[in-house]
Amino acid sequence: MTQWLTGARDDPDERAHRLVAAALRAAYAWTVRHTRRDAMREVARMTGVVMEAHGPGHGPTTPLDLVACLRERLGLLPALAAGTDEAIAQVVLLDSDDRLTSDAYDLASEYALPVGGPSDAAQWMPSWTWMRADQIRSETFIALIEGNGQESYVASRRLLIEHPAGSRAELSDLISETGVRPPRRGYTDIPTDHLHRSSGGETWWWPCPACRWPMGVSGTTVRCRYRPHAAVYHLTEGRTATSRPTLRRIDEGPSMARPVARPAADSCCVEFGVWRFVVVPGASELRVQQRLENLGATVELWPELDRYDLHVQAGDKEFRIDLKEYRSPYRLIADLRAKAPSARVLLPKTHEHQLGILQTAMPSLQVTTETKFCTEVRRALRTV
């Protein structure tokens, strides 16, 4: 009777997953409570899910109690206190102004899950707060696969990854010229917290140097919502009220081209869920492909309509690679256990530190890192 709430498996990890998913939805609903009449109803529903995850006598018991918890580390909630994912335990979902934190977008989004039973909230809440990452990817890829075979699929997916934002006219021309299929959810308005309004009333946005999606803007700080895309910038207004604002790099990461402000008028981007779970890993897949081809290998993208990510030919050796880019290695482990990969798992350079955790948890898993695999490809090419 309550299986929709507790799930088929009710071990501590599953309860922790439900708790984070419910907390994320409650946090988002709280941020829009002044514009959505049913937002508080969603907070109340998620309070019920959190109470179930804790059991009688533990955890928050009212919606306002839950909101208070969302302003503190999730690890303070009893059901997460003994969890193995230390990163998610440190996450705070609401800042001092009751806005979603960067960690909510960056890490907690990997825990999104349909919880609490059927609800009208799915009609107004963004997909990344209530849909699993694999559901968002599947929905996106199905639309692309409906084209004319492998070549059309690869071209459509590349367009999505390489052009996740831009002016509507530019994107319309690209789609028309190439004949590719846009994503099913299409392009939408750039979120307001990714825009900067200058004193003259002009509105601007900046593409992330790594993924090209609009970076988040908080006061005078501009950075990508995805933490591994680590460049952080300080925003400076233009000399006049109508001139273009500029960015100055303030972190110590590797050098890269400085983003130029683009006018927000008539600009759009793919929705957050498509960006986070399709564009972000896709940018790494294209980067790794280019790196391998620079070494002299031949690389095919997403063979057999995405059975795996990269087919690599290096000399007389062939490799099948599935790139996995998760902020939480524990979510990655859970997903790999639920669905075994069809190729060797590769951790991109930004995630190579997860190798030991994966090898310990899944000793039979075929897994490598970008650095190790590039060395292997070089060795194969030298033997030709």
pLDDT in tens, 355-384: 999 999 999 999 999 999 999 999 999 876
Q: What is the pLDDT of residue 161?
A: 95
Residue 117 and residue 26 share a domain: yes
Residue 21 confidence class, pLDDT cut points 50, 70, 90:
very high
Which contacts of 128-132 are long-range, i.e. CB under 8 A and separated by 24 or more positions? 128/272, 128/273, 128/276, 128/277, 129/24, 129/25, 129/28, 130/21, 130/25, 131/273
Q: What is the pLDDT of residue 376?
A: 97
In a domain, 175, yes or no: no
In a domain, 164, yes or no: no
Domain count within the chain = 3
Boundary residue ending a domain (201, 228, 263):
263
Residue 247 and residue 357 share a domain: no
| pTM exceeding the 0.85 threshold for the entire prediction | yes
Check: CB of residue 354 under 8 Å from CB of residue 332: yes
Residue 373: name the closest of 319, 329, 315, 334 by CA.
319
Residue 111 and residue 60 share a domain: yes
Boundary residue ending a domain (80, 115, 131):
131
Judge whether residue 95 has pLDDT over 90: yes
Gap between the Cα atoms of 264 and 203, Å rounded: 5
Residue 37 and residue 12 share a domain: yes
Residue 9 confidence class, pLDDT cut points 50, 70, 90:
very low
How large is the average pLDDT for residues 117-139?
A: 86
Q: What is the pLDDT of residue 83?
A: 65
Judge whether residue 71 has pLDDT over 90: yes
Give the 3-state DSSP-derived string for 41-68, with helices as H, strands as E and coil as C. Answer: HHHHHHHHHHHHHHCCCCCCCCHHHHHH
Residue 253 and residue 288 share a domain: no
Residue 39 belongs to domain spanning = 3-131
Judge whether residue 117 has pLDDT over 80: no
Residue 365 backbone phi and psi in degrees, to 5: -75, 135
In a domain, 169, yes or no: no
Residue-wise pLDDT tens digits, 152-162: 899 889 999 99
